[in-house]
Every structure is written in structure tokens, then in C-alpha cells.
Structure 1
Amino acid sequence: MSTKKIIIYAVLALLGFVFIGNVISTACSSSAVKQFKKALEDGNLSEASKYIEQIDDSSDKERCALRLIRVYLELDNSKQAIYVYEVLTPYHEGRDNISYSFNVYERDACKLLRDYLVKHGDYETAWNYYPLKSLDENYIGNAPCLYDYMNDVVVAMCAAGRQDEASQFVRSKLSWFATYVDASSSQYASEYAAFQSNQVRERLEQLIDESYNY
């Protein structure tokens, strides 16, 4: 047998092994999805978590993980919901990419987590699930992101009748805007003029004042 034929047969054999491996992997992943759904229906959430780890298809894994996050939050178990996102799906996109429409899992999971955490007063943890323009939290482009976070927290505090605490919260965050927006020499500074510290303070204080009328 010629060397050329040997190489051809070897390549075909390798492709065959790869195909068979993919078939087996797909079958195992499909089985894990079914077992996950069954465990979830039975209310066995710890078992459901284990099956997520066995799912190879990233789309299936993310869909199942999102379902489990929702269930845990409905049960007021934010710790386990965060565990699903951070540990069971560790290769998710970073905060600088979660706003993009094609990152559906990250976008939806982070919104679920931050909305729940803000509503239940865990404001510090909630910040970890807000989108950023850059992972450098001191980047001027993150000004709208921090403002959105502050706005949500202020609304939640005021809804709970904690206006004084909301005012203190605003004051505690203004130094960031003073440092990274007001004093910025960035070529993009003019684009973020609406987020200078005095304007941020005025808008949020107005929000607090208006909340007394609700």
C-alpha cells in the first residue's frame, strides 16, 4: 500500500473517530438536559445543578442555567442563583459584553440577578451584575453605567421610605464622577458632560424629593 493511501485511510479513520465522539457527546448532553428538566420538575434543585455540569452544548447549558437561576430567585435563594451563574457557567461573557443582544444568557441572567439584589437591599453585590463599557471601572465611559445603578438603588430605597439613606448613598458615589468625569482630560470627556458630579447629584436629589409625593 502506498504512503499516500495510508495517509488517506488514517485521515478518514480520524474523521470517523471524531464523528463518533461528537455523536456520543451530543447524546450524553441531550440525556443530561432531559435529566435536568426532570429534576427541576421534581423540585430537586441540587440534582438539577449537577446535570447542568454534564451538558456540553453551550446553548443548552445556558438555557438550563437561566431556568435554574429564575427558580432559585423565586425561592429567595440568591446565593445559589449566583452560584449557578458564576460557578456552573464560568465561561460567560464579562460585564463589558453583557449588553450586546447576542449575549442573551449573560444579559438576561445579570438582569435577573441585579433586579433581585437591588429589590432585596443587597446593593453592593448587585453592582457586580450591571454592564460596563470597560472592565476598568475608572474608565469615563462607565459613567452612564454607574448612574443607572445609582438610579435603581435610589428608586428602591425611596420606595422603602429610606430617603435619608438614599441621599447618603448618592453622596458616597459622587466622588467617582468628580474624579473620572469632572477632572477628566480624556478626548471623550465632552460626550459625558451630562454625568458631571453636580448634574448627577441634582438629578438624583430631585428623584428623592419627588418620591415624598408618592
Structure 2
Amino acid sequence: MPKVHAQSYPTHYFYNRLDLLPYLREGENVLAVHVYYQGLMNRSMNSGDLRQGLIAELLADQSVQAVTDESWKYARAREYIGEETIGYDTQYLERIDSRLEHKGWEQPGYDDSGWEQAMTAAPDHQLALQPTPVLSVYERRPQSVRQLSDGHYLIDFGTELTGQFTMKASGVGGEQILIRCGEELNAEGTGARYELRCNCKYEET
């Protein structure tokens, strides 16, 4: 599913309309949502009020088929263990322990009996349809992949990109993958210059 919602204020809180038809499949389908709450107050976000929530409804043939209410369940994504912020407290570094993930939580038949029941509250935000489209999500493969040493790779996309890096790896519990992102090579040309000049140190595990 695409990332949705632009930055906004309670007096003018944007919502999005998404076409779910391309995601439907024959048989049982699941509505599963990963909600991200930054919880910081800085020059680009004002969400340090400890208010976290989700409001959604599913329409078909111009009628409401499902809404977020007390029948929904939730659980915290335990695998995100990082607490370090960068970029003048505008973003969190991702420290992910995949062993703690709720495996298969977005699939039919998942046992959510241990999850919490959602609670509803009267929303005091003034909702407005977001005038811009949601972020487009597409795959961009690297321009080159060069092995520098055993287990050490330099992945070059050939241009400046803002996105999410995905990869597949295998190993045993407790092994770590260190990912360093940068806009240019270091002085030796042996890796990405991941300590940027904008108070960002893009080193994640």
C-alpha cells in the first residue's frame, strides 16, 4: 500500500482517498494498516502531543462497508527498537530487530487474540481532502553493485534519491546487517559518506 497523508494541522487535517481495487484478490482479504507516529516537535512536524490514531472507512458502490471502530485490534510494532534521532530531531534512525516482528500479521488467518482492542474517541480535527496525490511508489534498481570485501557491498543508484531501501538476506538470529546511506562516496572511494553535512548520520542496523 502507498504511504499516505501530508503534513497538516488539526485545524486543517488532510485525508486521502485510495483505490483498493488493484490490491483485492479472490477469496478472503485483510485490511491491515501500519501507522507511524513520529511524536516529535520540530521545524517540519508538530506531533509531540501524544495523540496517535487512525480513522478510515471502506466504500463500495457509494456505501460504507467497513469503518475503524472498537472491533479493530492493534499491537505495537516491536521490531523498531531505535530511539536515536538525526537531522535536528526531524527523523528517527531505524534500528530493526526482525526477531521481534509479528510474523504474518497482514495475512488472512493471523491469530490476533493477543492484540488489544481499539478504542474510539470523538475526533476534534477538521478533516479536508488532500489536494495533492499520495506519494507514488515504484521500484528503482541500482545502477551498479560492487563487492568491496567479504560481506561489504557498495550499491550505487547513480543519482540522488529519496526512498526506502529493501533487500533480502539470510542468516542466524543475532546477526546484523549494517546499512549506510549517503549522497556521495567517502574520500577513499570505499563506501558511502554517510555522515552528511546536515546533522544526519545515516547508519542503521
What is the TM-score normalised by the length of structure 2? 0.19
Name the structure where strand makes up a greater proportion of residues: 2
What is the TM-score normalised by the length of structure 1? 0.18
